[in-house]
Amino acid sequence: MKLLVTGGAGFIGSNFIHYWLKNHPDDKIVNLDKLTYAGHMESLKNLEGNPNYQFIKGDICDEEVVKKAMQGIDIIVHFAAESHVDRSVVDPLIFVKTNVLGTAVLLNAALGAKVKKFHHVSTDEVYGDLDVNDPPFNPDTPYDPRTPYSASKAGSDHLVRAYFKTYGLPITISNCANNYGFYQDPEKLIPRFITNLLDGEKVPLMGKGENIREWLHVLDHARAIELILEKGTLGETYLIQGEERGNLEVTMKILDVLGLGEDRIEYVEHRLGHDFRYANNGSELEALGFKRTYNFDESLEEVVRWYQENKDWWKPLKKGRPVLDREVQKGYGG
């Protein structure tokens, strides 16, 4: 099999590539990535010279590049996106361009290339937010995106479904909870908090840290996508559930692993459009045999240790990064 992975230099894409090549040593992967601020070649360094891996630097919005990258491809796994909610509040248009137009360009090319499968990686944030006692999202929950990020991902999901219904393109979609793991960019909540603390800074926690997220290990995410590719029904949407935790609980756990106290928390105002809670009903995926293998509390400790031991990976990223507009960057909430 030959896979085209888009956005494979990002957090989830790079972990997926490592996972796939380890578990499918006869397969070939082409990684198409624009290398935005979020794309890190360092995360794939050990694949240099691997005959089953090819990197193409290119934009998914560029039809010519995409058409070329798709030659001889059997399966597409589409991760490439602008993915940071805070950034979407500052600069929504690039989210619409990459997430909506980029996905449409890929779908069109996939149709022309007659690929066997097109898997679209999306987020549970398209469903809006939940109150504490609401039942979790399921694939029939009406879409209710509340930020430019989630609205652009919702747009991409609708396009993917439209290509199935209109043209019969063999698609599947997964809407996933928040991911955590190694190689996550230091501007996302967990790595941001860990690296701030390692740098001797405080962590900006929104509100009282009452917001709730589900957390899924990035390698459990890779396994879920593998299962959907192997056993999923074409045209279906699969929700990928994580473990629910309040943001304060996550923060306290990180502080605990590092032996630090609550005085390192700086409580800040909620950002615009900050959703209270996301939770997923993952029963369709469980019916395919999916079970999480990573326990959040144990794995979070490992992730903290990884950032402690891999300062060479994240320090240059944090240093060279312009700070987001302070109006929006009142803090990080997920």
Ligand X SMILES: NC(=O)c1ccc[n+]([C@@H]2O[C@H](COP(=O)([O-])OP(=O)(O)OC[C@H]3O[C@@H](n4cnc5c(N)ncnc54)[C@H](O)[C@@H]3O)[C@@H](O)[C@H]2O)c1
Which residues are designated catalytic? 124-125, 149
Residue 60 binds to ligand X (criterion: CB under 6 A) = yes
Choose the stretch contacting ligand X; rule: CB under 6 A; options: 33-41, 162-170, 263-271, 314-322.
33-41
User: Which residue's CB is nearer to ligand X, number 10 or number 209?
Assistant: 10
Residue 102 binds to ligand X (criterion: CB under 6 A) = yes
Residue 292 binds to ligand X (criterion: CB under 6 A) = no
Shortest distance in whole angstroms from residue 231 CB to ligand X? 21
Residue 205 binds to ligand X (criterion: CB under 6 A) = no
Q: How many residues bind ligand X (CB under 6 A)?
A: 30
User: Which residue's CB is nearer to ligand X, number 176 or number 264?
Assistant: 176
Choose the stretch contacting ligand X; rule: CB under 6 A; options: 57-65, 266-274, 281-289, 317-325.
57-65
Asked whether 174 and 239 are in contact (CB, 8 A), the reply is yes
> Which residues in the 226-245 window bind ligand X by CB under 6 A?
none
Shortest distance in whole angstroms from residue 221 CB to ligand X? 8
- Pick the binder of ligand X from 44, 61, 77, 279 (CB under 6 A): 61
> Which residues in the 166-185 window bind ligand X by CB under 6 A?
176, 178-179, 185
**Cα–Cα dist 307/49, whole Å:** 26
Which residues contact residue 44 at a Cβ distance below 8 angstroms, ignoring those fewer than 6 apart?
8, 9, 14, 17, 18, 31, 53, 55
Residue 11 binds to ligand X (criterion: CB under 6 A) = yes
Residue 214 binds to ligand X (criterion: CB under 6 A) = no
Shortest distance in whole angstroms from residue 233 CB to ligand X? 21
**Cα–Cα dist 46/73, whole Å:** 23
Phi first, then psi, for residue 91 (nearest 5°) are: -140, 75
Residue 104 binds to ligand X (criterion: CB under 6 A) = no
Residue 33 binds to ligand X (criterion: CB under 6 A) = yes
Query: Is 146 strand, coil or helix?
Result: coil
Q: In what order do the strands lie in the sheet with 178-180?
A: 178-180, 212-217, 243-246
How would DSSP label each residue in 195-245? HHHHTT--EEEETTS--EEEEEEHHHHHHHHHHHHHHPPTT-EEEE--EEE
User: Which residue's CB is nearer to ligand X, number 264 or number 304?
Assistant: 304
Residue type, 86: D
**Cα–Cα dist 36/42, whole Å:** 13
Task: Please list the alpha-helical segments (H only) found in the chain.
Answer: 11-23, 63-69, 85-90, 92-95, 102-113, 148-167, 189-198, 218-231, 247-257, 283-287, 296-309, 311-319
Q: List the x/- string, 75-94, binding to ligand X by CB under 6 A.
A: ----xxxxx-----------
**Cα–Cα dist 163/171, whole Å:** 8
Asked whether 167 and 175 are in contact (CB, 8 A), the reply is no
User: Which residue's CB is nearer to ligand X, number 60 or number 110?
Assistant: 60
Q: Give me the residues that bind ligand X (CB under 6 A), please.
A: 6-7, 9-13, 33-36, 38-39, 59-61, 79-83, 98, 102, 121, 123, 153, 176, 178-179, 185
